[in-house]
Structure 1
Amino acid sequence: MGLEIGYKQTEVGVIPDEWEVAQLSELITYTKGFPFKSSEYQSTGIRVLRVSDTTYDSIKAEDAIYVSDRNVSKYANWQLKEHDLIVSTVGSKPPMYDSMVGKVILIDHSHKNMLLNQNAVLLRDRNHREYVQRILLNNLRTKRYFSHIEAIFRGNANQASVTLKELFQFRISLPLDDTEMRAIATALSDVDSLIAGLEKLIVKKRDLKQAIMQQLLTGQTRLPGFSGAWSVRGLGDISEIEMGQSPSSVNYNSKGQGLPLIQGNADIRDRQTIKRVFTTKITKQGKLGDVLLSVRAPVGEVARATFDFCIGRGVCVVRTSNDFIYHALIYLEPSWERISKGSTFDSVNSTDVAAVQIAVPNDFSEQVAIAAALSDIDAELSALEFRFKKTLDLKQGMMQELLTGRTRLV
């Protein structure tokens, strides 16, 4: 099958005739991070940006370090500007994105003027064009770029590094027309803004839920129509608790034979069970809708079963007649650290679980009403998270189309 008219085959794939392919080294200037001495660090001044301060796409606020602002002129070459790109040259191998060697961060207005520490490199478009920075950023978050990092990193999975020579050999396709580059950058930036807005909404909704849980699950705020007394009860007195028991590993398979085995947090994602390992021998059976509680590190995490399953030793099942206890256990998650124990890793037993104290309305209908109110918030959160994931998928599709010229904007 021949090429479509107006397109050509290149080392990075099929691109429009009016586009070119260039190595990253041909497009940017760079500055290696400065090796600041720990003896210079202090609690105030100008912040020093370390690789450990970054995630896949953001800069963490906690555990920041600073150097004296009296030395700012001394470090002018390493002072970051808005729209700078920062690439880590050490880290872990893909796909451990938050700690990945080669991950790239775009400096926004709130993080400008920081000083770049060693083990990272500052990239700037040779012609100082903000829209080109945006295009470079998106190219450095493609699957093709991750494959390039996979091919060039040295070391092991958790202690990987890349050389600048090999990093800068990554090839990027670009339109020759500045107008088209601006249009691509604007389209991708608009979607990034939508994603950032959804992230903020999700964080705000989660914070709101936490505040409402604190009010409703402690009786500090009462729903309309309720004024009855509450009691503090042991979990074992108000629910049925079934501890897990893992079958022998000779019964495990990945072919879907038997039931999914849920034996710990590796089998749970976003508070829902996932199918990872199956077992043909069922020691104890859990049911769709059961509430699960992890009893091995990290202890106390709560989930809901989305299918029938075999209850492994790393979890227990808590069964009640309504969802009040499910929400109460989520609210109590941070408190498990006080009672978990174990020399190798934290764990709790059936006695520990049964003894957990929970404040409960004596009126069953109030329990149901509180559970319904919190479930409504969960549903709103789930809708936002679904929209967020769909928007991320949209962004990936746009990157594939726009960064290869498959879809043209001008």
Structure 2
Amino acid sequence: MKDTNLPDGWIELPIEKLAQITTGSRDTKDREENGEYPFFVRSQTVERINSVGFDGEGVLTAGDGVGTGKIFHYINGKCDFHQRVYLVHSFSPAISGRYFYFYFRSFFYDRIMSMTAKSSVDSVRREMIADMLVRLPENPREQNRIVEALSDADALIEGLERLIAKKRLIKQGAMQDLLTAKRRLPGFSGEWEKTPLGDIGPFVGGGTPSMAREDFWKDGTVPWVSSSDVRIGELHGAERLITNAAVKGSSTRVVEHGSILFVTRSGILRRFQPVMINSVPVAINQDIKALLPRSSAYSPRYVFHAAVASGDQILRDCMKTGTTVESIDLNALRRFQINCPQDQAEQDAIAAALTDMDAEIQALETRLEKARQVKEGMMQNLLTGRIRLV
């Protein structure tokens, strides 16, 4: 009986009626650094190998691991694949391999999540793939138009990702040059000096208002910053808001805009040193230390960029040992030195150049996020027939 929810000219079939399903025979240790062929493992990263386990058109997905239901690859050629990677191949004339790739990538995760009561899926069974229903237009030309539209969306996203990566590398190089005086901006030739962060201003910490006090949290207006809010860049607010009563009645502290916020206690310090400069007044908790630039000799934005560039060195020089949670030694942080031009105008010029680069990257990231949202909407509409390309 025809599904009345299907658009005219569309059919719905299980994958086992549209293609064959198999798994690989290789292990991760079989990879070859400079191998001739792609080697698909349980990761978005494609390794290399010298053996051929498949030659043709197919779609691969991880059978277990952290990427279950989220990792998909399209191949049309020679490759090999892991023993816990599923390959869908030998597509029937009813479906385009590229159409299947987009459909499977769009809906498989939701399918497997609907089959478990847990927050994640540990492994994929063959029938989870075989019994999955696929909606598709019977007309191959309509399938091809859908594939072309989604491929164009992918190309836009990939192009933006490459451009952002390039801009980040350019900014990294600029930071290494401008913040060490290897390259001077036009018009500046004055002396530089090493300055301890503690000479720039005092460090202050905060606290957490009582969660039992409803009047501390209900209808809050003051951004309350914890370590989860701080990464790298400019801070415009926080996930949680507190009231003025909480500010007055707890150990939290409000710091004015232009403060430099360091995460000093968090597991994230295993990976990098989060540093931000706040554009609005915020309250901070006990895991944050704020440097309050008091001396007119130092540009807050310059100090921020210098601290970001020194993140790895801060972790090496200031990390406490023997603590349960990774922590920064505040006295060591106060002693930590950054390179500073003595001329504040040069500090401002360097900060402005780096801030402009940050703004350009942020604008590209906003475009990328919008492109991803548009593509998500396209997949939901084109792959279900809500919008027709005929």
**Aligned equivalents of 2:48 and 2:201: distance in 1?**
48
- TM-score, with length taken from structure 2: 0.85
The structural deviation recorded for 1:304 is 3.3
The structural deviation recorded for 1:330 is 1.2
- Residue in 1 that maps onto 2:290: 317
Deviation track 1:173-224 (CA, whole Å, cap 9, x = no partner) reads 1000011111110111011011100100000000000001100000000000
Q: Which residue of 274, 279, 284 corresponds with 2:253?
A: 284
Kept in 2, the 8 Å contact 1:174–1:403? The answer is yes
**Aligned equivalents of 1:274 and 1:132: distance in 2?**
47
The structural deviation recorded for 1:359 is 0.3
Residues paired across the two proteins, number: 369
**Aligned equivalents of 2:78 and 2:315: distance in 1?**
39
Report % sequence identity. 30
- Residue in 1 that maps onto 2:112: 149
- Residue in 1 that maps onto 2:389: 409
Matched, 1:354 2:334: yes
Indicate how the Cα distance of structure 1 residues 346 and 114 shifts in structure 2: closer, same or farther if over 3 A, else same: farther
Indicate how the Cα distance of structure 1 residues 306 and 147 shifts in structure 2: closer, same or farther if over 3 A, else same: farther
Tell me the amino acid that sits aligned with residue 89 of structure 1: G
Root mean square deviation, CA, Å: 2.8
Matched, 1:90 2:64: yes
- TM-score, with length taken from structure 1: 0.81
Kept in 2, the 8 Å contact 1:32–1:121? The answer is yes
Kept in 2, the 8 Å contact 1:80–1:107? The answer is no
**Aligned equivalents of 1:319 and 1:207: distance in 2?**
30
Deviation track 1:71-129 (CA, whole Å, cap 9, x = no partner) reads x3xxx4x3465x531111213xxxxxxx33122422468xx644211221011251489
Q: Which residue of 80, 85, 88 corresponds with 1:123?
A: 88
Indicate how the Cα distance of structure 1 residues 324 and 409 shifts in structure 2: closer, same or farther if over 3 A, else same: same
Kept in 1, the 8 Å contact 2:236–2:279? The answer is yes
Matched, 1:106 2:69: no
Tell me the amino acid that sits aligned with residue 116 of structure 1: F
Q: Which residue of 314, 336, 357 corresponds with 2:314?
A: 336
Indicate how the Cα distance of structure 1 residues 405 and 374 shifts in structure 2: closer, same or farther if over 3 A, else same: same
- Residue in 1 that maps onto 2:296: none
Q: Which residue of 1, 24, 27 corresponds with 2:18?
A: 27
Tell me the amino acid that sits aligned with residue 327 of structure 1: H
Deviation track 1:46-91 (CA, whole Å, cap 9, x = no partner) reads 664321x32xxxx26xxx575xx4xx3xxx4x3465x531111213
Question: Map of 1:301-316 to 2, 5 A cutoff?
Answer: 301-305=274-278, 307-316=280-289
Kept in 1, the 8 Å contact 2:381–2:387? The answer is yes
1:232 is paired with a residue of what secondary structure?
strand
The structural deviation recorded for 1:302 is 1.2
1:372 is paired with a residue of what secondary structure?
helix
- Residue in 2 that maps onto 1:206: 168
Tell me the amino acid that sits aligned with residue 32 of structure 1: T
**Aligned equivalents of 2:277 and 2:254: distance in 1?**
14
Indicate how the Cα distance of structure 1 residues 386 and 41 shifts in structure 2: closer, same or farther if over 3 A, else same: closer
Kept in 2, the 8 Å contact 1:153–1:161? The answer is no
The structural deviation recorded for 1:391 is 0.7
Tell me the amino acid that sits aligned with residue 209 of structure 1: K
Indicate how the Cα distance of structure 1 residues 349 and 263 shifts in structure 2: closer, same or farther if over 3 A, else same: farther
1:296 is paired with a residue of what secondary structure?
coil
The structural deviation recorded for 1:235 is 0.7
* Unaligned 5+ runs, structure 1: 1-7, 92-98
* Unaligned 5+ runs, structure 2: 294-298
Indicate how the Cα distance of structure 1 residues 108 and 123 shifts in structure 2: closer, same or farther if over 3 A, else same: closer
Question: Map of 1:224-303 to 2, 5 A cutoff?
Answer: 224-251=186-213, 255-257=218-220, 259-264=222-227, 266-268=228-230, 271=233, 272=235, 275-280=238-243, 281-282=246-247, 283-297=252-266, 298-299=268-269, 300-303=273-276
**Aligned equivalents of 1:366 and 1:372: distance in 2?**
10
**Aligned equivalents of 2:11 and 2:23: distance in 1?**
27
- Larger deviation: 189-198 or 347-356? 347-356
Kept in 2, the 8 Å contact 1:84–1:133? The answer is yes
- Residue in 1 that maps onto 2:358: 378
Indicate how the Cα distance of structure 1 residues 179 and 268 shifts in structure 2: closer, same or farther if over 3 A, else same: same
The structural deviation recorded for 1:258 is 5.5
- Residue in 2 that maps onto 1:96: none
